[in-house]
C-alpha cells in the first residue's frame, strides 16, 4: 500500500473580524493552503498539524446542534457555492449585487462571520467588518441620546 501525503494545516488566530485577519485568510487561500481559523482566546484541546485533504480549505470549530464542539472542514467551493446561490436569489428579487453593502459584526472563527466575506467576494460588492466592541459603544451612545 502506498503512503498518503499529509498537508500542513496553517492556524490563523482571530479576535473578531479584523481586517488583517481577513487578509491573512485570503492570502493562504490564494496559496491553496488549509487554514484553521480559531479564536485566539480559546485554548484548544486537540492539536492540528496536518491532514490528507487538499486545500484551499478552512477548518472551523462548530458545536452545531449537538452543543459539543467539533472541527468542520470546508473546502473553498463549499463556501463559494452558497454565496453564488444566495446571490442568484437576490438577482431574481431585483437586486444588483455590486450595489449591495454587507455589514458584518460576527467573528471570523465562525461560519456566520466568514460567509459575508465570501458573499462580497462572489458578488463583487463591499463588505464592512464592524467590531462588536464598536457596536456596543454605539448602542450605549444611542441609549444615552434617547434619555
- CATH number for the domain that contains residue 87: 3.40.50.12780
Residue-level pLDDT at 147: 47
Contact between 69 and 62 (Cβ < 8 Å): yes
Reported as a pLDDT band with limits 50, 70 and 90, residue 1 is very low
User: Looking at residue 52, what is its pLDDT?
Assistant: 87
User: Nearest Cα to 104, choosing from 13, 16, 26?
Assistant: 16
pLDDT in tens, 11-32: 999 988 888 999 999 999 999 9
- Cell numbers for 70: 467539533
User: Using an 8 Å Cβ cutoff, are 64 and 70 in contact?
Assistant: yes
Evaluate whether residue 32 is within a structural domain: yes
pLDDT tens readout for residues 46-95: 667 888 888 999 999 887 677 777 888 999 999 999 999 999 999 999 99
1 falls within a domain: no
* Per-residue confidence (pLDDT) for residue 62, from 0 to 100: 81
DSSP line for 71-108: EEEEEHHHHHHHHHHHHHHHHHTT--GGG-EEEE-S-T
pLDDT of residue 2: 46
The structure's pTM equals 0.79
Share of the chain above pLDDT 90, in %: 55
Total domains present in the chain: 1
Please indicate, yes or no, if residue 70 is contained in any of the structural domains: yes
Domain that holds residue 52: 7-146
Amino acid at each position: 500500500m502506498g503512503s498518503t501525503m499529509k498537508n500542513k494545516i496553517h492556524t490563523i488566530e482571530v479576535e473578531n473580524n479584523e481586517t488583517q485577519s481577513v487578509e491573512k485568510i485570503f492570502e493562504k487561500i490564494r496559496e491553496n493552503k488549509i487554514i484553521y481559523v480559531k479564536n485566539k482566546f480559546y485554548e484548544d484541546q486537540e492539536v492540528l498539524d496536518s491532514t490528507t485533504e487538499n486545500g484551499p480549505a478552512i477548518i472551523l470549530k462548530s458545536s452545531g446542534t449537538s452543543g459539543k464542539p467539533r472541527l468542520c472542514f470546508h473546502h473553498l467551493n463549499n463556501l463559494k457555492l452558497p454565496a453564488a446561490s444566495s446571490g442568484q436569489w437576490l438577482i431574481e428579487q431585483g437586486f444588483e449585487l455590486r450595489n449591495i453593502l454587507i455589514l458584518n459584526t460576527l467573528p471570523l472563527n465562525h461560519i456566520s462571520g466568514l460567509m459575508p466575506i465570501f458573499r462580497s467576494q462572489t458578488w463583487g460588492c463591499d463588505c464592512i467588518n464592524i467590531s462588536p466592541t464598536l457596536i456596543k459603544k454605539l448602542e450605549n451612545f444611542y441609549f444615552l441620546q434617547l434619555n
